[in-house]
Copies of this chain bind each other. A is one copy, B any other.
Amino acid sequence: MLCGMQAHDGPLTRLRKSHEQSVLDLLRKHGPLSRAELGAHSGLSRTTLYDIVAGLVEGGTVVASTPPAEVRRRGRPVEKLSLNPQAGEAIGIDFARRAVHVSAVNVAHEMLGSASEAHPPDLTWTQRTDIAQRLLGSLGGPARGSRGGPLRLGSLSAIGVGIVGPIAEGARAPGPEPLAALLRERFGVPVLVDNNTRLAALAEAVWGAACDGGDVVYLRLSHGVGGGLVVGGSLHRGTDGMSGEFGHITVDARGAPCECGGTGCLETVASLDAVLARYRSAGGSAPDVPAFLDAAAAGDRTARSVLERVGRDVGRVLAAVCNAIGPGVLVVGGELAQAGPALVEPVERALHAHVMPRVRDRVHVRLATLGEAGSALGGIALVLHESPLLSRYPPPVAQEHA
């Protein structure tokens, strides 16, 4: 069907292209969908949709497959449609404070691989980009280039990058120089940059703990305390990129000074350093966070009591956010979330005490499921959702075949 396009499209062709674009956009954002799901999302009539899909499958842009028998429910297998996995990959890179994480996914939402490497703090962007390139080279999917040389990414690919700190303009901005320029030069593809905690929120919404829908509040308890909001399936960035700053909601107006310049922010009591410091000042002994978590898991009463206290403050902040926004799902991630129920239970108790009673039974905390790969996967989700390049997908195949 695509082959029939004219160089100068008439209105009929434009209308068809617009329908095709809707279908392709949906598959790019959601991954594999059944025809019924495509129909519900696109609003196209059954006849139009089947015709459009047939054309896209015939042209090879879209592929159809049935899930393996063992994962199927009863009845006839439902065919799923997805973008042709060979049409391109998206790469996600998370430049965390002391580590680089990379992931690669193709446009059919198939995971190609993830890799991570810790590094000393204060590396230059060039050094960190070298690490990212080496890690990408080690992955199966996109590792078509020679080590050290530029990767030969598919022509449709883009890179989504997470970095520490606020990104005022959101993903459509060129990103903080010189990082974006460096990456564009190195990989020869468009680069979208956003805050890495926000990207972790998007990833949990698309592939992780919150993938079953609804608006998402994501809180990360790590060296810093931050978060992200996903509203209507998209990142909510806020004015000047200042949304999701749950770590700087005040929990004690007479509390400790915070790095942000404020006082008694959640971060001053719930960051990893703050938690360790409280544990030690209560007589506990742990050289680092894993040791503290081990102690808590082993039933150390001091560690449990510290988590109880932290959980109460976290729950109060989440309750305030719930009352303000009314999210569908609350997700807690970051290293401290590995404490599991010892943290989540006090969080939920405080949450339920302070959230509107009408929604108390409905509001639960889920643990993040994507771990340290979350932000890199979020970079990919950003590319699949927002890349201006991919939104013009498919490329001018028509001309080639004409």
Contact = CB atoms under 8 A, between A and B. Distances in A.
A325 B325 contact: yes
Given A11-B11, A239-B328, A327-B238, A166 B250 contact: no
A324 B324 contact: yes
Contacts of A14: 15
B326 A238 contact: yes
Interface in A230-250: 231, 236-246, 248-250
Interface stretch (A56-64, A140-148, A352-360, A387-395): A352-360
B326 A325 contact: no
A14 B263 CA distance: 59
Count the copies: 2
A320 B357 contact: no
A324 B243 contact: yes
Contacts of A248: 323, 356
Contact of A246 (B229, B241, B324, B362): B324
Nearest to A317: B320
B215 A262 contact: no
Interface string A295-321: 000000000000000000000110111
B320 A166 contact: no
A261 interface: yes
Interface in A1-31: 11-12, 14-15
A7 B229 CA distance: 46
A260 interface: yes
B319 A243 contact: no
Given A15-B15, A231-B231, A325 B358 contact: no
B241 A326 contact: yes
Contacts of A245: 323-324, 326, 356
Contacts of A328: 239
A320 B253 CA distance: 12
B11 A362 contact: no
B326 A243 contact: yes
B323 A246 contact: yes
A214 interface: yes
A263 B352 CA distance: 12
Contact of A239 (B246, B261, B324, B326): B326
Contacts of A323: 242, 245-246, 248-249
A324 B321 contact: yes
Contact of A320 (B15, B215, B250, B359): B250
A216 B167 CA distance: 21
Contacts of A356: 242, 245, 248, 260, 262
A250 B327 contact: no
Given A262-B357, A356-B242, A356-B262, A326 B249 contact: no
**Which of A316, A324, A362 has most chain B Cβ within 10 Å?**
A324
Contact of A240 (B15, B229, B260, B362): B362
A186 to B, nearest CB: 31
Contacts of A243: 324-326
A214 B231 contact: no
A354 B320 CA distance: 14
Contacts of A262: 353-357
A239 B324 CA distance: 11
Contacts of A241: 326
Interface of A: 11-12, 14-15, 166, 214-215, 229, 231, 236-246, 248-250, 253, 260-263, 316-317, 319-328, 353-359, 362
7 contacts: A215-B238, A239-B362, A242-B322, A242-B358, A246-B324, A249-B320, A250-B320
